[in-house]
Structure 1
Amino acid sequence: MKDKKVKLALRMPAKYDFWLHLSMLVLIAFGSLMIMSASLGESGKNSLVVYTTAIKQFAFVLLSYFVMLFLANHFTMVKARKYGRPIGIILFLVLLSTLFFTDNGTGSHAWIIVPLPFVSFTIQPSEFVKVFLIVMMAVSIEVTGRRNFSIWTIVKVPVLFFLAYAAVILQQPDFGTLAIIVIICGVCFLIPSHVNLRKWQKYEKFLIVLGFAALIFLMSNAGSGLLEKLPFVGYQVKRFEMSLDPFVSPFGDGYQLINGLYAIVHGGILGVGFAQSSQKWGFLTQANSDYIMAITIEELGIFGLLIVVIGYVIILQRLFHYAFLTKSEGYKIILIGTAMYIFVHFALNVGGISGMIPLTGVPLLFISSGGSSLISIMAAIGISQAVISRIRRQENG
């Protein structure tokens, strides 16, 4: 019996989605190769950087894969309801502890730094908040069902957790992560068809339109002037200004964006060849994280971009396919919430490095380096696979 349990823990559950799983593995493998390539740019300062990066990446991939396997095999709505609140409180305390760590040169206190004898790594607890809130919103909707509860009764638990987490994230400050959480939770809130939510869903749709209009205005010259008068952090105002024209400060705030654009143009259609990027040699200081797509396009051209885009499209298609297939609104929230988690990261990362929107510093999931983001998205995929497995079993009778 013991051997059977171990065997089950090392394989995906019955009726999981193969194409979702395969696309995820291809993206992780491709991303790991690009991280190794991008890390070469730091070898002048540290001759062992490629080896330490490879060890860290392998460890994070292995850990995240086992997290995904565990959740794919063991996640249920019943367990999420039972253990959700204690896990949420622990996550809040861990998130709060980041405020007591010194920043790593970015001005943000979003990471817990774990030093080891030969290498150190960081943990970003706010990444796990995204998955937790998706699950808690799904549980709240699944529990209330069609019963005539008030809106506060329906959303109380996820809203209280959201407010607590948002208060800490604002203190870090990490507006990019908070923006992603707001977008994900906002989309998830629009999914339920409960009669007592409809009025508030209409209000949210109006706010979404208003938000898009405000964003477009803030990215204009007039909006940039207004931003300087608002209580924003200086570097955040600069990101809006640089998205308008990075060449006004080519050796200052626009330096990274300009070099990212140069990498994209330099790659062209065919690219300069794997590991042959020139921009990673000191020009892009975040070549293996924020700007890894720029390095990918420089080295592999349009083909590198297509690998990422096709992988993302397959994953999103599979998640939405099962979301439309199931009648459970809790399952819909988990699947669409996970899809939005992936899509928003892609849109903000690619939009930022191309200068179309202000750079937010969010990673490109599955591709950028970063153990917390990889574990978090793999946890979301594992939960989604558990949901998909149940949907397919129910469909087959």
Structure 2
Amino acid sequence: MVPVSRNLVTFVDPWLFVTTIALVMFGLVMVYSASATLAHETYQTQFHFVLRQALAALLGAGLLLGSLWLGYARLERPWVVYGLLGVTVALLVLVLLLPPVRGTHRFIRLPGLMFQPSELAKLAMVLFLAYFLSRKDAPARRDPRQVLLPVGLVVGLLMGLVFLGRDLGTILMMGGTAAAVLVVAGVPLRYPALAGLLCSPLLLYALLKEPYRRARLLAFLDPWKAPREEGFQIVQSLMAVGSGGVSGVGFAQSRQKLFYLPEAHTDFIFSVIAEEVGLIGSLMVVGLFGILAFRGLRAAFLAPDDFGKLLATGITVLLVGQALFNLSVVLSLVPAKGIPLPFISYGGSSMMMSLLAVGWLLSVSRRT
């Protein structure tokens, strides 16, 4: 094995590293812009949310540098993979036993912050898939008994616990990411497709069982039918995007964030971005995620081993897929779901886990 250099600057993919830093810094600026009024009204200081986000970014940067220093090869050990899975399952069970936060079991309250175990579950799933599949030869990967059964048990357990916490958006991202890693590993496409088809009745049941999910689905089909009720959030989002025009109304000049657009600094922060910096700024954000996708897939393609290849693939699909999902929700291309925009939306758990994931990705790119 090639020794991993401890110089954290040399051999790091500059495009991937600079793109990540640019997304994080831009996200901090936009979190401040989108949350300043709400923070002042609620906490008597306009810096409440941005300071917490900055702290999460610093902690995430420590995770990124630490994982880069250690190297991704250190992750390819049974006690690391299954230890992380065990911790993740324990946290997902614990959060179900705690009092709900905003009507859902998604957060564990810690001093000064709240941690979302489902964000860790996504990384634990990717790491497990990369480790497990890299140890199977090509014929075994095509045998559903040797691959789909153990993968289905582990991934199904993680997704089931997240589902019990009423986090449907994360389940969709986990399912799509798992399918992508399986296909890249050489598993025939028909098997992940069949698994998705078998799970579709459960997804439909989850959408129709909860009244708020039914309301979101109806609002997606025709948000202007009830613009002050079910369709309010989508209508306000589209108004913000449309108001920005080509160049935007100017930094911190958004009107929709002034208690019109719900979740303006979290799931719908891209609406504020589109309003304040317009089409030009929005395309720059999309372009940064495009660079992240290209460099991540390049690292996967040039990885020296299957473990690095699958790990880089899973991380890239997870981050970029989540970004595309968030943008689709903001533009009403899919029904509204609580999916943050990586590196930009307010949320400490998402920020820290996203930066940890980039640390793993950068580590793979160093070995290409």
Match 2:262 to one of 281, 285, 290: 285
Match 1:202 to one of 151, 165, 190: 190
- Relative distance call for 1:48 and 1:54 in structure 2 (3 A) is farther
**Which deviates further from its counterpart, 166-175 or 18-27?**
166-175
Q: Secondary structure at the match of 1:45?
A: helix
Q: Which residue of 1 aligns with 2:64?
A: 68
Q: Which residue of 1 aligns with 2:117?
A: 125
Gaps of 5+ in 1: 219-226, 392-397
Report if the CA contact (8 A) 2:177-2:318 is conserved. Answer: yes
- Relative distance call for 1:274 and 1:249 in structure 2 (3 A) is same
Equivalent residue letter for 1:168? L
Matched, 1:138 2:130: yes
Report if the CA contact (8 A) 2:292-2:320 is conserved. Answer: no
Q: How does 1:96-111 map to 2 (within 5 A)?
A: 96-105=93-102, 107-111=103-107
Report if the CA contact (8 A) 2:207-2:214 is conserved. Answer: no
Deviation at 1:238, TM superposition (A): 1.5
Q: Which residue of 1 aligns with 2:161?
A: 168
Aligned counterparts of 1:234 and 1:357: Cα–Cα separation in 2: 18
Aligned counterparts of 1:156 and 1:343: Cα–Cα separation in 2: 28
* Identity value in percent: 25
Q: Which residue of 2 aligns with 1:357?
A: 334
Deviation at 1:253, TM superposition (A): 1.4
Deviation at 1:304, TM superposition (A): 2.0
Report if the CA contact (8 A) 1:140-1:157 is conserved. Answer: no
Deviation at 1:252, TM superposition (A): 1.2
Aligned counterparts of 1:110 and 1:169: Cα–Cα separation in 2: 8
- Relative distance call for 1:112 and 1:384 in structure 2 (3 A) is same
Aligned counterparts of 2:140 and 2:262: Cα–Cα separation in 1: 54
In the superposition, the TM-score normalised over structure 1's length comes to 0.84
**Which deviates further from its counterpart, 362-371 or 334-343?**
334-343
Aligned counterparts of 1:230 and 1:89: Cα–Cα separation in 2: 29
Report if the CA contact (8 A) 1:13-1:386 is conserved. Answer: no
RMSD: 2.6
Q: Which residue of 1 aligns with 2:174?
A: 181
**Which deviates further from its counterpart, 179-188 or 242-251?**
242-251
Deviation at 1:146, TM superposition (A): 4.6
Deviation at 1:344, TM superposition (A): 1.7
In the superposition, the TM-score normalised over structure 2's length comes to 0.90
Gaps of 5+ in 2: none
Q: Secondary structure at the match of 2:47?
A: helix
Deviation at 1:28, TM superposition (A): 0.4
- Relative distance call for 1:231 and 1:290 in structure 2 (3 A) is closer
Report if the CA contact (8 A) 1:16-1:389 is conserved. Answer: yes
- Relative distance call for 1:206 and 1:90 in structure 2 (3 A) is closer
Q: Which residue of 1 aligns with 2:81?
A: 84
Report if the CA contact (8 A) 2:329-2:337 is conserved. Answer: yes
Aligned counterparts of 1:151 and 1:259: Cα–Cα separation in 2: 47
